[in-house]
A and B are shown apart, each in its own frame.
Chain A
């Protein structure tokens, strides 16, 4: 289509000025954009307030969508369930047999664990979640992996708090608005979590690769002890995440670690828990111990 003749203002003074102003405004827009981008690259937290307000405003839309997602999933699951009922039943019975054995083993382990903890005089610290929330959206068209949850400062959420699901760690809060927060997912390339192998003390860092998998880098280099299928949990080193939250499953061995699949896939997660920052707990406990010591003196 040919453009309208508005670009050729002719001798109309008003049209000429209007056209000129349009170009000036557009130029200013580009310059302001470049300046803002430079500022937010140098100081990423500058515009957090603005963004939090905006996401608070849009959060209700996301809530509706999240509810729909859960409902939709249930419908599909139900249909698929009927389709494969027979073979599923046989498989489940088999699994139940194995599970009963495992349960007994787990019970034994739990008792042993309680005994050891009692020996170490560690409190049976029940971590109480700060808030429960829905995952209501994610930056699905950006190279960053950030999700939105439906809880904010009103529910006690603060930046830095870990976000978990029943399946394992999801990420950590980076910005908290009044009613919604932004969560840096584990798969973001800026995310790094100290982990250890669930069975022993092989420690590593889990870095996001922004394609849904994590890269495990061993802290102690040498012979790579990781095998396919090893489960990694948070080690609690450096604070933030309490130890023992499931993170990833090693699927591919590399020279300095492994490529791992996320255990709590955010796409399949509906409700998440926001947990308190772990280090604070430890510091509080230490303070309490100090106070006690001071009183005894």
Chain B
């Protein structure tokens, strides 16, 4: 069999003989990638205006929309807390907004059990826009017309970047389910 077709005992997730998924990778990768997304302030970009999209939140949304049930409903608390440590926002805003975001997706899911990517994108947009707006409101910065014009590009970048983030998460999802663990 092997000689006829070397891939006969493999599928896209690796060999099917004596290999299994690693629980650490399968459950840890989503959390790790979201936490890494929250570390964007440590990128070597010293920006004069808010330009980078909120990658932590976007990764969380993408994981939640791609794999319902993988992140528990309360995941917004620890993830938001970590985001707060580095984002420069007042402490607590991340916890509140990340938790609310997961709640909103839950509601959308009850209303639309069958979704396609367009609806996912719309859901993400409907969360990212208020997220950035509320973040700017509670950030303690004075809100003027200048502030609004500064947020607008960031908003646009975030919305446009969501499909790419979703694609990245799909890639990570395939990595997550690779059979890497030796059974015997």
Contacts and interface: CB of A to CB of B under 8 A. Distances in A.
Contacts of B103: 26, 30
Interface stretch (B6-14, B24-32, B70-78, B174-182): B70-78
Contact of B42 (A7, A136, A189, A266): A136
B76 A29 contact: yes
A144 interface: yes
Contacts of B141: 143-144, 188-190, 210
B46 A29 contact: no
Contacts of B100: 30
B87 A29 contact: no
B70 to A, nearest CB: 10
Given A30-B100, A41-B138, A141-B54, A135 B91 contact: no
B18 interface: no
Given A29-B95, A33-B80, A54 B85 contact: yes
A44 B138 CA distance: 12
A140 B50 contact: yes
A212 B91 contact: no
Contacts of B98: 33
B44 A68 contact: yes
A267 interface: yes
Contact of A267 (B46, B110, B136, B140): B46
Contacts of B23: none
Given A29-B76, A37-B91, A267 B99 contact: no
Interface stretch (A45-53, A80-88, A193-201, A243-251): A45-53
A3 B84 CA distance: 30
Interface residues of A, number: 65
A119 B169 CA distance: 70
A140 B41 contact: yes
Contacts of A209: 144, 146
B16 interface: no
B42 A1 contact: no
Interface in A186-222: 187-190, 209-212
Interface string B94-130: 1111111011000001100111000000000000000
Nearest to A52: B85
Interface string A265-296: 11101000000000000000000000000000
B154 interface: yes
Contacts of A23: 73
A71 B135 CA distance: 34
Contacts of B94: 33
A23 B76 CA distance: 12
A125 interface: no
Interface of B: 39-55, 66, 68-69, 72-74, 76-77, 80, 84-100, 102-103, 109-110, 113-115, 135-136, 138-142, 144, 146-147, 149-151, 154
Query: What are the nearest 6 A-B pairs in CB distance?
Result: A36-B92, A139-B88, A212-B48, A33-B95, A33-B96, A37-B92
